Structure 1
Amino acid sequence: MRKATMQDIANKAGVSKTTVSMVLNKKDSNISSATKDKIFKITQELNYIPNSIARSLSTRKSGTIGIMVPDITNPFFSEIARAIEDAANFFEYNVIFCNSDNEIEKEEKYIQLLVSKLVDGVIFIAGGKSTKSIDILNNNGVPFVLVDRYVEGYENSYGVYTLNKEGIIDGIDYLYKENKRKIVFVSGSSEIEISNLRLDGYKEAMKSYKIYDESLIFEGDFTIDGGKKATEEILENIKDFDAIFYSNDVMALGGMKVLKRQGYTIPEDVSIIGFDNIQLSQIVEPELTTIGQPIYDIGKESCKLLIDVINENDIHEKVIKFKPKLIKRGTVK
């Protein structure tokens, strides 16, 4: 059976193909409601699906945005992606999800694919040193908004971020007030700028209390396995510690599993803090004390900002920064 065409709709409705095109492309202000209703009804009867490629070539807009995330298995990114999709649906945009697995080559291939698909813009969460990926977007005139992670050379581009350093300082202040002095810190990969910002916050706060000790710093990779491995390394090298501050929640969850298997009771033997406030942080027992990011708002605002850029609307804030919030639960004594 051959595919229905715009001409088929026009013939059945008794109107011109141009009229059908105007209605389907929402350029129908001078067309009667009765005619529009008839066209939409016939469109549904024939199961007509517009050729989006042809439309995008004529209008220079595809009604589609791309979302690049570094690790969709990390609930932080899946929760942001959900918020972006919700906002995109509200603004009547479709989305294409791309997961780079923190691999720069894979990320660059996906960016090339998104450009070839004529997306109107991209919400981009870097997987590492992602300068080339952003260069590709920039050189092809594709609008983009950076989210969560800075990209070198594009710090002043459109972006939505959390005040990472300030969040870590708040966490150290809280632990200190709870009489913790030997506070271990598990950072993310040094290839990612927010890891370095969070580490800077730890160093600054610990030095301000004159309890800084470089041997208490361990590197993870923002994954559950990374949290497990870092915690195993901590137990092998540090004999006495009051607390462990993980740079994100999933590493904290991995670390808590290792600690419990090694006979530690949380928070009686060791206090734990994470960073992000993913939904899982409220499900584990004890519930995870964390530095909460407004994840849904970050996703929603990044989508709104991108669509404003695409439509060349007036933009009051080119870079949006959210303040994180200490969320006290059961893992700090």
Structure 2
Amino acid sequence: MKKITMSDIARIAGVSKATVSMVLNKKDENISEETKNRILNIAKEMNYIPNSVARSLSTKKSSTIGIIVPDITNPYFSEVSRAVEDSANIFGYNVILCNSDNETEKEEKYVELLISKLVDGVIFAVGGHNTRGIELLQENSIPFVLLDRHVEGFENLYGVYCENQLGVVQGVEYLYENGKRNIVFVKGPGDIEIAKQRLSGYKLTMEKYGIYNENFVYESDFTMQGGKNVTEKIINEIEKIDAIFYSNDAMAVGGMKVLLRNGYKVPDDISIMGFDNIQISEFVEPELTTIGQPIYEMGRESCRLLIDIINNVDVEKKEIYFKPQLIKRGTA
């Protein structure tokens, strides 16, 4: 079946191809309403879909941005991606979503793919130390904004972040005020900057009260399964535990399942603290006490910042930080 073109629409409408192009590209100020409506109705009836690649080549704009996240199954990144998509639609942009599975090689492939698709910019939540992905964006002059995660060696880049260390300090202080002293901390993967920041907050506060014990620090990945695995290890290795502070809510949910199945009462026997305030934290029982990030606002702000950069708008701050908030619920 023959693909419908602007020439076909122009022939049926009895106008020039240039007139059709102006109407479909919304550059139709000097064209009558009658002609505009006739062209738009014909295009709709014929199921005309414009060639966005050809238009991108001529205008140097695709009205498309990419977002690369490390793990779309993590509700944090699902929520932040939704915020980016909602905001992009308001600004008239489409979104290509890429999931890297925390793999550097996949991140690089997705960066190359987005560049080849002529995206106008990229929001990049880096899985680890992927300097090559950032270098590719810089070498190809693609505007980008880092979201959630810094990358060592690449300072002074555009980015939207949460004050991770401050959030953990708030959480440990709350646990301490409630009489908890044997507080286990589950950090995230060691090569991720936010994991280091959150561990720093824990260590800083525990040392302040003279109760830091490096044997109470465990590592896992930011998944529910990771939370389950590390919690099984914790309860087998440590006799007395007052609280477990997980570096994200997904780990905390997985860990709670292990504790409850092993006869622990939460929070009577062990208090639980998470980080993120993903939606599921309100639906587990007991509801999860956590350090809340303004997830939707961070995604929305990263999109606004990127589009400002694309449009050469003067930006006051290259790095935007959001403050976390202690959310008191039933597990601590």
TM-score (ref. length: structure 2): 0.98
Matched residue, 1:196:
196
- Superposed structure 1 runs of 4+ greater than 3 Å apart: none
**Residue 175 of structure 2 is aligned to residue 175 of structure 1:** yes
SS of corresponding position for 1:146: strand
Matched residue, 2:83:
83
The aligned runs of 1:38-77 (5 Å cut-off) are 38-77=38-77
Matched residue, 2:118:
118
Partner amino acid, structure 2, of 1:83: A
What's the CA shift for 1:313?
1.3
What's the CA shift for 1:31?
2.1
SS of corresponding position for 2:290: strand
- Report which stretch shifted further, 21-30 or 1-10: 21-30
Partner amino acid, structure 2, of 1:117: K
SS of corresponding position for 1:210: coil
Mapped to 2, the partners of 1:36 and 1:246 lie a distance apart of 58
Matched residue, 1:134:
134
- Report which stretch shifted further, 11-20 or 98-107: 11-20
Partner amino acid, structure 1, of 2:156: N
After superposition, what is the alpha-carbon deviation per residue over 1:98-145, rounded to whole angstroms, capped at 9, x for unaligned? 000001111111111111111111110011111111111110111100
Mapped to 2, the partners of 1:9 and 1:117 lie a distance apart of 27
Mapped to 1, the partners of 2:99 and 2:135 lie a distance apart of 19
Matched residue, 2:245:
245
What's the CA shift for 1:61?
0.7
Partner amino acid, structure 2, of 1:225: Q
Matched residue, 1:106:
106
After superposition, what is the alpha-carbon deviation per residue over 1:15-59, rounded to whole angstroms, capped at 9, x for unaligned? 111111112122222222222222111110111000011000000
Matched residue, 2:272:
272
After superposition, what is the alpha-carbon deviation per residue over 1:260-301, rounded to whole angstroms, capped at 9, x for unaligned? 111100000000000000000000000000000001101111
Matched residue, 2:311:
311
What's the CA shift for 1:154?
2.3
What's the CA shift for 1:9?
1.1
Matched residue, 1:221:
221
Mapped to 1, the partners of 2:139 and 2:107 lie a distance apart of 16
Gaps of 5+ in 1: none
Matched residue, 1:324:
324
Partner amino acid, structure 2, of 1:104: T
What's the CA shift for 1:314?
2.0
SS of corresponding position for 1:186: strand
Partner amino acid, structure 1, of 2:264: Y
Partner amino acid, structure 2, of 1:247: S
Partner amino acid, structure 2, of 1:290: T
Mapped to 2, the partners of 1:331 and 1:59 lie a distance apart of 55
TM-score (ref. length: structure 1): 0.98
- Report which stretch shifted further, 283-292 or 41-50: 41-50
SS of corresponding position for 1:37: helix
The aligned runs of 1:282-321 (5 Å cut-off) are 282-321=282-321
Partner amino acid, structure 2, of 1:17: K
What's the CA shift for 1:241?
1.1
What's the CA shift for 1:92?
1.2
Calculate percent identity across the aligned residue pairs.
Answer: 65
Partner amino acid, structure 1, of 2:291: I
Gaps of 5+ in 2: none
What's the CA shift for 1:232?
1.3
Mapped to 1, the partners of 2:128 and 2:288 lie a distance apart of 27
SS of corresponding position for 2:326: strand
Mapped to 2, the partners of 1:154 and 1:89 lie a distance apart of 30
SS of corresponding position for 2:186: strand
Partner amino acid, structure 1, of 2:313: N
Mapped to 2, the partners of 1:39 and 1:312 lie a distance apart of 33
Partner amino acid, structure 1, of 2:259: L
What's the CA shift for 1:170?
0.4
Mapped to 1, the partners of 2:130 and 2:318 lie a distance apart of 20
